[in-house]
Amino acid sequence: MKAKDLLAFIPDQDLSQLAARTRVDHQVKKLSGRVMFQLLLLSLLEGGRASLRVMEELYCSMQFRTLADVGQGQTTRHNSIRDRIVTMRPDFFRAIFELLFKRFNRLLGEQHALVRYDSTLIAVSARLVAWSMRTRSGSKQSCQLKCTLAMKGSLPCQVRVFTNRQALSEDCALPETILSEEISRSGIVVFERGVQSRKALKELDERGRLFVTRCKVGSHCIEQELLAVGQRPGGTTLTVLSDAWVSFREKPGSYLEKPLRLVKATLESGEQIWFVTNIAWLDAYQVAAIYRERWQIEVLIKFLKQHLQLEHLVTRNENGIQVMRYMTLIVALLLIVYRKLNKLDSDRRAKLRFAQELDVEVVRQIVLLCGGDPAKMEKFVT
């Protein structure tokens, strides 16, 4: 599938409807939501880091004017782009992201896939922002911006940005993210062992989320019902030692009323690993296999950091950060689907080929506009 075919999944008509619904263009004449979407898309596909100066140059480029249908002679300044990013409604970009995810999720047939969750921290100098998520490293004080992400199947499906100090704990950030969207109801949720709060696990269970996670080896619990362990599948790298419904200790002298399932296993190295779930119909080895699939979200975060500059902040304004995070995930959706449908083995190759195909499309459109006359091309270049 070509790059232009994937961009057709979000046509101008849909962008106009979403802009009207979210009122992103209220009292705006020049840098409309549609134009900003296309400008940010192009800047994130560029080889280097996206910046306001780069966006200023791109806005005046032949490539952008052709793709975005911007009138000849129009220019803008980087400070105008900055002001627009920090004040425009993030809901517009969130709506585009959710629309694209639903369409690509159906395209890839991943409606019933696992939903994986994880978080990543981005360090910022404390002198530059007023956030409260502060940590001390030696004599230097720094701030942390926390992005909690979810992916369903192959695709990112949710993002939350935290700047409050309480969210440094995964016991706060991960459950809040999982429970904030209905997408976590549609499949099994898997997340890493950063969530140790028994209260958080209890709330997830009570609110109908089916989950698989890990807990610390040696966690206090009382066995309620011992389950039979099935036959070990071929090719597995661990051995299940026991499988039981247990009541975990919530606080000294108090245990959860509703039991959770604890699967104890050992790796080939001899290290023990404990899994926790509230799902009854899976066998113990299936529980372990589901947790192993959690690793894919680590791969996604690495891809976002290496190829889409997730850790680079174009603006330190919280509204602008929300805009850029949704745009980053929109580009990630396009590139992941492009790589899978074209059976490419590298994220770098997918990004390069996607950008090259956009360049080819620009040349095609210019040839059509020039009617095949090279002399007419000058007005598109200068």
Model pLDDT for residues 201-219, shown as the tens digit of each residue:
999 999 999 999 999 998 8
Please tell me the predicted confidence (pLDDT) of residue 364. Answer: 77
Report how far residue 354's alpha carbon sits from residue 331's, in angstroms, rounded to the nearest whole number: 11
Name the strand (E) or helix (H) holding 191: strand 188-191
d(CA 90, CA 187): 27
The ranges assigned to domains in the chain are: 3-97+315-381, 208-292
Phi and psi (nearest 5°) for 124? -140, 145
What are the tens digits of pLDDT across the range 332-352? Answer: 999 999 999 999 988 888 988
Whole-angstrom Cα distance, residue 207 to residue 180?
11
pLDDT tens-place string over residues 109-121: 999 999 999 999 8
pLDDT on residue 122: 84
Q: Which residues of the chain have pLDDT under 70?
A: 47-48, 70-73, 131-141, 369-382
Residue 176, amino acid:
E
pTM over 0.85: yes
Q: Which has the closest alpha carbon to 288: 269, 270, 261?
A: 261
Output 310-314 pairs: Cβ under 8 A, ≥24 positions apart: 310/120, 310/122, 310/147, 311/122, 312/49, 312/50, 313/122, 313/124, 313/145, 314/50, 314/51, 314/52, 314/85
What local confidence, expressed as pLDDT, does residue 168 receive?
82
Distance between CA atoms of residues 280 and 278, nearest Å: 6
pLDDT at residue 95, as a whole number: 95
Q: What's CA 24's distance to the chain center, in Å?
A: 22
Alpha carbon distance 372, 195 (integer Å): 62
